[in-house]
Amino acid sequence: MSKTRVVVGMSGGVDSTVAAAILLEKGYEVIGMTMTLSTPASRCCSDEDVTDARRMAQKLDIPHYVIPMHKPFREHVVDYFIAEYTNGHTPNPCAICNPTIKFGELLDKAREVGAELLATGHYAVVTKDENIGRYLLKRGKEHGKDQSYFLARLSQNALSRTLFPVGTFPKNKIRDLARRLDLDVSDKSESQDVCFVPDSGVAQFIEDELGHSLEPGPIKNKDEEILGTHQGIAGYTIGQRKGLGIAVGRPIYVTRIEAESNTIFVGDEDELYHNACTVSDPNWIGVNGLNGSRDALVRIRYNHRPTPATITMESDDRIHIHFKKPQRAITPGQLAVFYDGESVLGSAWIDTILNQ
């Protein structure tokens, strides 16, 4: 009886390496693939990561391939990232990269080498609910490392072909397994920033990519009084306090970004709290869709604790979210992810902030 062939997306880090080792122990035929993405400044899929992934594949005695993804990564992720920032939104590149690159382009490559499944080192869990005939995406065992938020745009087809071998383990257990297997990436540090943006920051990266400086504009308070000048809206995000270049004798924060007038609005912290927003382009996972309203737990960014809310369909493409308590710094461009307990119901992109 032939073994089930699975491709593991190997990043050169401990999670994907241990994922490959776990699958080997379970009897799968494992092939490692490592993507190369964008720029020399990339913190993910760098030359060092490729070298580490190759070494780990050799140690595990599995085939390993390096897959160039520069063009699709540019088209799907980098161009989106620049467009969102220049439109006054704060993008979420990981939530775009996962369905288009890792579980899109890389999954296609896996199929080309005869693999039925793709595995990664994400902290999440995939199961199938036979009663409704849908694949479910659930939070990883260690909630502090849970990555279901970034995976909430995956399709049913992608989830049906996906394995997350480390998702049922706490992070310290994964590092222990790596040490026990003598995998010397066990203590390798993790990147926490946008992988393709260099240390010079988002605004400088976008200026370099566009080939010109961003357009300065006014910084105003809610009464439309001009308090200073910003150096381009792409350098700012809602909730930001540092780097505003103005002093009013108390802490102030970015409360709104208006791309049409190239204006940054600032205010006191209490102006950051809102109890509602609208979101668009839903991707349903745990349910076929939504009719009317239902209660759910909602995350409005990765490090946001899921919070009770009511979600209501306004149209096929638009959902209204009303939070039980006001939430801090709801940000257009970010992903709102809906949960029923541990399971992801679906997700949609934040458009408009409301108070109701």
Query: Do the Cβ atoms of 4 and 28 come closer than 8 Å?
Result: yes
For the residues of 123-185, what is the DSSP string, one character each? SEEEEEETTTTEEEEEE-SSTTT--GGGGTT--HHHHHTEE-TTTTS-HHHHHHHHHHTT-TT
Query: Do the Cβ atoms of 39 and 196 come closer than 8 Å?
Result: yes
Catalytic residue set:
97, 195
Q: Rounded to an integer, what distance in angstroms lies between the CA atom of residue 162 and that of residue 126? A: 7
Query: Do the Cβ atoms of 264 and 230 come closer than 8 Å?
Result: yes
Query: Do the Cβ atoms of 125 and 139 come closer than 8 Å?
Result: yes
Q: Rounded to an integer, what distance in angstroms lies between the CA atom of residue 98 and that of residue 204? A: 25
Q: Rounded to an integer, what distance in angstroms lies between the CA atom of residue 265 and that of residue 227? A: 9
The HSE-up count of residue 46 (CA atoms within 13 Å, CB side) is 12
Direct distance between the N- and C-terminal alpha carbons of the chain, in angstroms, rounded to an integer: 61
Q: Rounded to an integer, what distance in angstroms lies between the CA atom of residue 146 and that of residue 159? A: 17
Paired with 128 in beta bridges are 135
Q: How many residues are there in the chain?
A: 356
